[in-house]
Amino acid sequence: MKKMMIYDPAMCCSTGVCGPSVDKNLLRVATTVSSLTKKGVKIERHNLSDNPQAYIDNREVNKLLNEKGVDVLPITIVDGEVVKTGEYPTNEEFVSLLEIPQEYIYSDKEEKLEIVGLAKNDSSCCSGETGCC
């Protein structure tokens, strides 16, 4: 099975539901990644705010950041190869890049509610204590 790594820009929430408005694309990515991970698909996400060392340790990510700056984020890597920069994969791209059945992308309503509920209750992100939301 293929392995995907997503290097996010610096942000306080990976779900997109904190702050004054919901980032629907970020919510889609968080929901998709959660659903796929529950199905056994190997996906890692790194947040520049939480784990800058991961960006230093990965040569290709480090090189892209030095050459193009943070606008190159997010960076998506599949099996060690950069496959997309500057935006998140679409649902169709998740299917194609990971070579998984299209049915894996769709999650049930419970899963979506669970993700939203986690983000809203995540005191480190959306309580205002961090100053980023």
Q: What per-residue confidence (pLDDT) applies to 111?
A: 43
Instruction: Name the H helices within 7-126.
Output: 24-38, 52-57, 59-68, 91-98, 109-121, 123-126
Residue 119 confidence (pLDDT) above 80: no
Q: What is the dihedral of CA 73, 14, 115, 129, to 10 degrees?
A: -170
Q: What per-residue confidence (pLDDT) applies to 123?
A: 41
pTM surpassing 0.75?
A: yes
Query: pLDDT tens, 29-61?
Result: 999 999 999 999 999 999 999 999 999 999 999
Average pLDDT over residues 79-90: 97
